[in-house]
Amino acid sequence: MARSTDARWPRRGIRAVRASYDARDRRVMLTLNNGVLFGIPLARLLEIADAPDALLREVELLGGGNILHWERLDADYSVPAMLVDAIGREHAAREFARKGGRSTTEAKATAARANGAKGGRPRKRSDG
pLDDT at 116: 79
Q: Which residues, other chains included, contact 34 with Cβ-Cβ below 8 Å and sequence gap of 6+?
A: 14
Domains with residue ranges and CATH for the chain: 2-87 (3.30.2020.40)
Judge contact between 29 and 41, C-beta under 8 A. Answer: no
CA 68 to chain centre: 13
Q: Give the pLDDT confidence of 53-95 residue by residue, as tens digits.
A: 999 999 999 999 999 999 999 999 999 998 888 888 787 777 7
Q: Which residues, other chains included, contact 85 with Cβ-Cβ below 8 Å and sequence gap of 6+?
A: 44
CA distance 70 to 56: 7
pLDDT at 4: 53
pLDDT at 45: 93
How many other CB atoms are found less than 10 A from the CB of residue 82?
Answer: 17
CA nearest 67: which of 2, 127, 111? 2
Q: Give the pLDDT confidence of 112-128 residue by residue, as tens digits.
A: 788 878 877 777 777 75
In this prediction, residue 12 has a pLDDT band, given cuts at 50, 70 and 90, of low
